[in-house]
Amino acid sequence: HLGLVSDITMLKQHQAELERLAHYDALTALPNRNLLADRFEQAIAHSNRTQTLLAVCFLDLDNFKPVNDELGHNAGDELLIEVAQRIRTMLRQDDTVSRYGGDEFVMLLGEIKNRQDCEQLLHRLTDELSRPYQIENKTIRISASIGYTVYPFDQGSMQTLIEHADQTLYKAKLDGKKTFRMYETGNEAWRDEKNEQLYAIRRALTENEFQLFLQPKINMCSGEVIGFEALIRWQHPDNGLMFPQDFLPLINGTSLEIQLGEWVIRQALHYLQQWQAQSKPWHISINLSAYHLGSNGFLQRLNEIIAEFPTVDLQYFQFEILESHALDDLSLIVDVVRHCREEFNIKTVLDDFGTGYSSLSHIRTLPVSAVKIDQTFVRNMLADVDDCKIVEGVIALARSFDLEVIAEGVESVRHGQILLSMGCELAQGYVIAKPMPAAHIADWQQQFTLPEDWLSYRDSRQHIKWTQLNLFCLYLQLSLESVELRFEAELDDVNLCPIISIKQSHCGVWLDRTENLQLIDMESLQILKEKYRSFHHLLTMTLKLYQAGKKQSGLQNLHSLRSRYQDIYEYIQSIMSAFQPGEITASKSQYATNH
């Protein structure tokens, strides 16, 4: 017998390679469009047979182009490989993910029972893809936006369903990226409206329709102007002056947000350059979003803008970031803030402090120079004892970390008095000035006069006993005024002056805290407690008479209430007059620590 033997291993390997190239993407090894079409037909058949839903998803990476531009295409390819791997591991075995082209992927998710099941999976997927990537020893941060449609509610060819998902992807991009949206038949009208709004904002940026209004920050003891917060406004040709809440949400998470943020930086540095040329030592602070701070190339672009103002002393330039935004990616915020401080000498202020769920962690971790007390706490502290506690707690916390503390939302002289008694001297708010164009600053300076009630703190602010006893007097006065207002205005809404217990009152909280801190001797404190208990009892009875319609009897009680108020006030003044000049019972840092 004769035989011929031939090794066809290479031939088989070549055929396998050709088959792989015909059905799989060469870079990511994911199914290509050819294999996707076959999988789509199978998925449709399975959906019809099992009476389940099929989600066709179109995924596009956010901020992928800057990676190619800055790090090169090799880094971009490595990033795509990592993205493909993460998607593959997040999907179920029977699901399909295909690289559709560039940084676009199509996914077929079968066995879907309802919309909630689908969106839970997409939510986990967007979270996974937004985790940092380590490429070429550099940390890269991107995210993904997804549009999806559901068969059989949406029917048609594979190309039709992909187009519908792609259209909805565009909406997800406009709504802030790192999100997903579902296609709804007959709901294409939003695209034209949204496009028109974005076009109008782009045009406004080109036509210089945006302005920076400036709100002063002052020292309430000295009246010194320490700086300004820059707040953007849009002088719309048809709608007039528009405020940030009217247009900023439209551009959240888009490249337009970054462009507008860079305009704000440039305009603020322009004002700073003018002031420094006039020897005015004012600082200026601007609000930056976490999205802008975390965008690829932020520090490089910031450096380029700074280079346009070589004479500006950047120690007077500040960024303000919302505490709630800092929650999004604390590690990234820390790196950017630290670089700005160390390389550019730009300080950062943590805005709306106290609204986040981890304020202590933020103030310990973030390299900030100051915190701003959220204006809602400041505005409400005259009526709400809990807001008062928060404000006082923030002031003490900031002192403990040697940070400046600024109160915003100061809308009355009384707000300022209480803040000064608590130890906060820096403030901004309507009682000082509303935001104004830069051209109006000189006129405001000439007309503004520091309230006399604030000036009295100039010589006594270091005396803890004096400021704390004065704080009690202010609280007591608030209690009396709230009742007087009810009788004078004949208010019928009981919520405007509710009946509260001693422990819920401003003065009651002060008395409990003072006993623990031992700011005054126990004998004086007990006398003060008895006097206030009598005052509060009469105040409660007066309010009950008013609510019962016995206003005449209530007015008689009000006269007695004023007498008891005067008695307490004079007693406190006698304690304060006993202080020796220059006596300081505790340093600021000790007081903050005790708090």
Name the strand (E) or helix (H) holding 182. strand 180-182
DSSP state string for 321-376? EEHHHHTT-HHHHHHHHHHHHHHH--EEEEEEET-STTHHHHHHHS--SEEEE-HH
Q: Token match 């209430």: residue? A: 561
The number of C-alpha atoms within 13 Å of 432 and in the hemisphere containing its C-beta is 27
Backbone φ and ψ for 219, nearest 5 degrees, come out as -90, 120
C-alpha distances (whole Å) from 488 to each of 110, 553, 555 are 70, 15, 10
pLDDT for 587 equals 32
Six token digits for residue 461: 């602010």
The model's pLDDT over 167-177, given as tens digits with 9 standing for 90+, comes to 888 878 877 78
Predicted pLDDT at 361: 62
Q: Please, which pLDDT band fits residue 515 given cuts at 50, 70 and 90? A: confident
Tell me: pLDDT of 234 over 50.
Answer: yes
Q: pLDDT-based confidence at 194, cuts 50/70/90? A: low
* Per-residue model confidence (pLDDT) at position 456: 80
| Percent of the chain topping pLDDT 90 | 47
* Sheet with 180-182: strands ordered across: 96-101, 104-112, 53-62, 143-151, 180-182
Q: Which residue has the higher pLDDT, 156 or 309?
A: 309
Whether the Cβ atoms of residue 334 and residue 366 lie closer than 8 Å to each other? yes
Q: Which of 64-78, 259-273, 290-304, 506-520 has the highest mean pLDDT?
A: 259-273
pLDDT over 50 (residue 543): yes
* Mean pLDDT of the region 357-379: 78
Which of 245-252's residues contact partners 24+ apart within 8 Å by CB, and which partners? 247/197, 247/201, 250/174, 250/194, 250/197, 250/198, 250/201, 251/198, 251/201, 252/175, 252/176, 252/289, 252/291
Distance CA 387, CA 376 (A): 8
What is residue 550's predicted lDDT score, i.e. its pLDDT?
82
Q: 210-219 and 436-437: which strand pairing?
A: antiparallel
For residue 48, pLDDT over 80 is answered with yes
Q: Please tell me whether residue 423 adopts helix, strand or coil conformation.
A: coil
Region 409-432: mean pLDDT is 94
Average model confidence (pLDDT) for the chain?
Answer: 85
Most confident residue range from 109-113, 313-317, 494-498: 313-317
C-alpha distances out from residue 438 to 225, 265, 522, 540, 595, Å: 14, 15, 53, 50, 40
Stretch among 203-207, 333-337, 427-431 having the lowest mean pLDDT: 333-337
Between residues 273 and 187, the one the model is more confident about: 273
Does residue 5 have a pLDDT over 50? yes
Hey, what are 227's tokens? 């700086």
Question: What distance, in Å, lies between the first and last C-alpha atoms of the chain?
Answer: 103
Cα 9 from Cα 211, distance rounded (Å): 72
What angle in degrees, to the nearest 10, is found between the helix axes of 189-206 and 158-174? 40
- What's the pLDDT score for residue 548? 80
Q: Which of 399, 416, 392 is nearest to 217 (CA)?
A: 416
Residue 571 has pLDDT above 80, yes or no: yes
Q: Quick check: 568 pLDDT over 50?
A: yes
Q: Within the chain, what is the greatest distance between any pair of CA atoms?
A: 132
Q: Give 556's pLDDT tier (boundaries 50, 70, 90).
A: confident
**Which H helix or E strand runs over 180?**
strand 180-182
Percent of the chain at pLDDT > 70 equals: 87
Q: Is the pLDDT of residue 358 over 60?
A: no
* pLDDT tens track for 182-192: 887 654 444 45
Categorize the per-residue pLDDT at 68 as very low, low, confident or very high, splitting at 50, 70 and 90. Answer: confident
Separation of alpha carbons 466 and 576, rounded Å:
6
Q: Which residues, 6 or more positions from 96, have their beta carbon under 8 angstroms from its beta carbon?
A: 31, 36, 39, 43, 107, 108
**What pLDDT score was predicted for residue 58?**
95
Average pLDDT, integer, range 353-360: 58
> What pLDDT does residue 15 have?
66
Pick the closest to residue 373 from 359, 357, 361 (CA basis).
359
DSSP bridge pairs for 187? none
Convert the pLDDT of each residue in 25-44 to its tens digit: 889 989 998 899 999 999 99
* Whether the predicted pLDDT of 592 surpasses 60: no
CA distance 286 to 42: 55
β-pairing, 96-101 vs 283-287, is unpaired
Q: Are 233 and 211 in contact (CB under 8 A)?
A: yes
pTM of the model: 0.66
pLDDT by residue (tens digit) across 113-164? 888 788 889 999 998 999 999 988 888 989 999 999 998 888 888 988 998 8
pLDDT band at 195 (very low <50, low <70, confident <90, very high): low
User: Quick count: other Cβ atoms within 10 Å of Cβ 557?
Assistant: 19
Which 3 state secondary structure label does DSSP give 78? Answer: helix
Strand partners, 319: 286, 348
